[in-house]
Amino acid sequence: MTNPILRISDLNAISDLDGRPILRGVSLDVAPGQTLGLVGESGAGKSTIAKALLGILPRTVRIASGRVVFDGRDLRELPERELNRIFGDQIALIPQDPLTSLNPGRRIERQLTDGLRLRRKLPWRQARIRALQLLEEVRVREPERVMRSFPHELSGGTRQRVLIAAAFALEPKLIIADEPTTALDVTVQKQVLRLMRDLQTHHRTAIVFVTHDLGVVAQICDRVTLLFEGRVVESGTTAEMLETPKHPYTKALIAAGPRYDRPDAGLQPVGDEIINALRADIVASDGRESHA
Amino acid sequence: MPCERISSRLTEEKVMPETLIAANGIEVVYRARRRAGRGEIGGVKVLHGVDIYIDRHETIGIVGESGSGKSTLGRALLRLTEVTAGSITFEGRNITHLPDSQIVPLRRRMQMIFQDPMSSLNPRRSIRQILTEPLLFHRVATDKADANRRVRRFFERVALPLSCLDRAPHELSGGQRQRVGIARAALLEPDFVLADEIVSGLDVSTQAQTLNLLKALSREMGLAMAFISHDLSVIRSVCDRVYVMRHGVIAEHGRCDHVFAQPKDPYTQLLIDAIPLPRIDPGWLTRGTDGGNQ
């Protein structure tokens, strides 16, 4: 692998409320131009990792140890001023819900040009031209009209395209896509995935794609990291994970989803024995940690 | 297409199934707000003459994208939304314009499970209250003790711990809440259950559990079910027949095995092609979309 743009090693996070571990020694790499799928069921810690990478962890979550090296620098050691130049700039977000992520009271033009004016110091007129280019890049119809619109006047698919444009606006090196297509219809989802792939190829952006949908993973991710209760269960290339999964939990998750092509296959819930074995493992390693 | 309907039924079973609910040519118009001095402005027609039937003991799927009218169709079948044209029959009886007083007894027999159990379960009631009150209201249970007995017995069936009984909805997990929603509907021993997007917010494993539970319950209780979903894979794994909706009309309907193997309508094909499967398929992303344009 080429030099990773992001390398997380042995990251541990705990809840400040009750001291409960949230991330347990997570390690992962992403190379430029590559998409890493961050997969797991609710409570797996995928959002915590995404938030840590964007500097928006809630106050109740504390990073206890580990390294988050982005572009050669450990984010945990950088002063706040430096971090402000990275979060939302070098690392951008494509959020899940396109409606609540846009400001309902401001026109798209304002929201798309904010970063360009404030971060890149572009004058109004140039920022506007760049924003229009971005809307064309994300293949929005009638970009002029969209610029004048408020978020509620746009369809869900168009709103998601606007957010993708906003994410790519500052040419970030890393994009965190947090379930970006979960709220979309399947036909729109396919278009949005295709668009993200095209833009990524063009800009050589690294993407961390948070999702619970293994179908989406198969189509867009190069590598996959599967988490369970804050711990990496298995990671590898997408082909390895889907075709020759090693861990019983990986196999079980693949068998749990309904399959229109094999109606008799899917719908097998993950067995209790698999979950119990995973939990026992976690308890054992938590014990070792606290004694170390 | 009555001929096709009869022939497909004859091949399935020797006994002619009995139609439980049928709708013919129903239309629904959502009226715009009334504004002072300007009267009523326009309205949006969301169902344009829909025909649908559901036999006893049968599970059908209604699939479509957002705005296709699938939820409106479901609500119209239960008389939760008034239709502006067409007719709805339940056991052959026309219920299209039945007054509320006569609808109430039917409500027990036509139940609904909602998408988001968090907003469909009263947050200030205990699970016990949520489940026993409908039993008493509809006089399925003779008294409180009987209602409690029925709830406890059913809890085992839906694999909910009894400790949940005196908790509030927010204290349960998403999967547990959805099972409470299922229990609330099934406890009334209905003939028909409408399930509107009930698994879209759940993890895959919980989703599998919920769907398997519903499949088993409908078999045991002889329920007819309508499953509304945007997810063709979910529909394929639980339904006998499917209706594909687009822009307020039925684009295609038929037995799932037929429709999925050989869709007749190009829109059905488009929907099927848009489902990402968990297998490596390098051409998928670029296949079939109009170049990714809107």
**What ipTM was estimated for this complex?**
0.86
A253 touches chain B (CB under 8 A): yes
User: Mean pLDDT over residues B189-204, rounded?
Assistant: 91
A156 touches chain B (CB under 8 A): yes
* d(CA B257, nearest CA chain A) in Å: 9
A42 touches chain B (CB under 8 A): yes
Measure Cα distances from A215 to A186, A208, A229, A287, B284 in Å. Answer: 11, 16, 22, 36, 11
| Chain A residue whose CA is closest to B64 | A185
Both tokens assigned to B95 = 């219920």
What SS3 string covers chain A?
CCCCCEEEEEEEEEECCCCCEEEEEEEEEECCCCEEEEECCCCCCHHHHHHHHHCCCCCCEEEEEEEEEECCEEHHHCCHHHHHHHECCCEEEECCCCCCCCCCCCCHHHHHHHHHHHCCCCCHHHHHHHHHHHHHHCCCCCHHHHHHCCHHHCCHHHHHHHHHHHHHCCCCCEEEEECCCCCCCHHHHHHHHHHHHHHHHHHCCEEEEEECCHHHHHHHCCEEEEEECCEEEEEEEHHHHHHCCCCHHHHHHHHHCCCCCCCCCCCCCCCHHHHHHHHHHHHHHHHHHHHC
The DSSP letter of residue B194 is E
Q: Is B10 helix (H, G, I), strand (E, B) or coil?
A: helix
pLDDT value for B1: 44
**In a mutagenesis test of the B interface, which of A47, A96, A191, A238 is the best target, namely the one with the most B β-carbons within 10 Å?**
A191
Whether A259 and B233 lie within 8 Å, measured CB to CB: yes
Whether A260 and B232 lie within 8 Å, measured CB to CB: yes
pLDDT band at B32 (very low <50, low <70, confident <90, very high): low
pLDDT band at B15 (very low <50, low <70, confident <90, very high): low
pLDDT value for A265: 79
* Model confidence at B125: pLDDT above 50: yes
A191 touches chain B (CB under 8 A): yes
On chain B, the residues whose CB falls within 8 A of the CB of A198 are 292
pLDDT value for B289: 57
A114 touches chain B (CB under 8 A): no
| Chain A residue whose CA is closest to B203 | A41
Question: Residues near A108 by Cβ (< 8 Å), separated by ≥ 6?
Answer: A102, A146, A147, A148, A149, A150, A151, A154, A162
pLDDT value for A132: 96
Whether B276 and A190 lie within 8 Å, measured CB to CB: yes
**In a mutagenesis test of the B interface, which of A146, A155, A187, A207 is the best target, namely the one with the most B β-carbons within 10 Å?**
A187
A257 touches chain B (CB under 8 A): yes
pLDDT tens figures, B230-277: 889 999 999 999 999 999 999 999 999 999 999 999 999 999 999 999
Interface of A with B in 200-239 (CB under 8 A): 212-220, 238-239
Whether B231 and A219 lie within 8 Å, measured CB to CB: no
Total residues belonging to chain A: 292
| Chain B residue whose CA is closest to A240 | B280
What SS3 string covers B26-92?
EEEEECCCEECCCEECCCEEEEEEEEEEEECCCEEEEECCCCCCHHHHHHHHCCCCCCCEEEEEECC
Q: Is B245 helix (H, G, I), strand (E, B) or coil?
A: strand
pLDDT tens figures, B70-86: 999 999 999 999 999 99
**Number of other residues whose CB lies within 10 A of the CB of residue B266:** 10
A283 touches chain B (CB under 8 A): no
| Chain A residue whose CA is closest to B273 | A187
A113 touches chain B (CB under 8 A): no
Identify which of A180, A225, A182 has the alpha carbon closest to the alpha carbon of residue A200: A180
Cβ-nearest to A269 among B208, B274, B280: B208
Whether A197 and B233 lie within 8 Å, measured CB to CB: no
B65 touches chain A (CB under 8 A): yes
pLDDT value for B34: 59
pLDDT band at B27 (very low <50, low <70, confident <90, very high): very high
On chain B, the residues whose CB falls within 8 A of the CB of A189 are 274, 276
* Model confidence at B292: pLDDT above 60: no
Identify which of B77, B30, B26 has the alpha carbon closest to the alpha carbon of residue B48: B26
| Cα separation, B279 vs A69, whole angstroms | 32
On chain B, the residues whose CB falls within 8 A of the CB of A266 are 208, 233, 237
Query: How far from each other are the two terminal CA atoms of chain B, in whole angstroms?
Result: 35
Question: Residues near B239 by Cβ (< 8 Å), separated by ≥ 6?
Answer: B59, B60, B61, B227, B256
* d(CA B285, nearest CA chain A) in Å: 6
Instruction: Judge if pTM exceeds 0.90.
Output: no
| Chain B residue whose CA is closest to A211 | B203
Q: How many CB pairs under 8 A join A and B?
A: 134
Both tokens assigned to A286 = 């938590």
User: Which residues of chain A fall short of a pLDDT of 70?
Assistant: 1, 289-292
* Model confidence at B12: pLDDT above 50: no
| Chain A residue whose CA is closest to B175 | A42
On chain A, the residues whose CB falls within 8 A of the CB of B251 are none
pLDDT value for B142: 94
β-sheet bridge partners, residue B59: B225
Interface of B with A in 160-219 (CB under 8 A): 174, 203-209, 211-212
Total residues belonging to chain B: 294
Instruction: Name all domains of chain B by residue range, CATH numbers in brackets.
Output: 59-78+100-273 (3.40.50.300)
The secondary structure of B267-293 as a DSSP string is HHHHHHHTPPPSS--TTGGGSSSSTT-
**Number of other residues whose CB lies within 10 A of the CB of residue A254:** 21
pLDDT band at B40 (very low <50, low <70, confident <90, very high): low
Whether B236 and A258 lie within 8 Å, measured CB to CB: yes
Q: Are A137 and A165 in contact (CB under 8 A)?
A: yes
Place of tokens 């924003």: A131
On chain B, the residues whose CB falls within 8 A of the CB of A268 are 208
A183 touches chain B (CB under 8 A): no
Whether A186 and B232 lie within 8 Å, measured CB to CB: yes
* Model confidence at B16: pLDDT above 80: no
State how beta strands A231-237 and A223-228 pair: antiparallel
Measure Cα distances from B40 to A29, A183, B36, B88 in Å. Answer: 60, 33, 9, 27
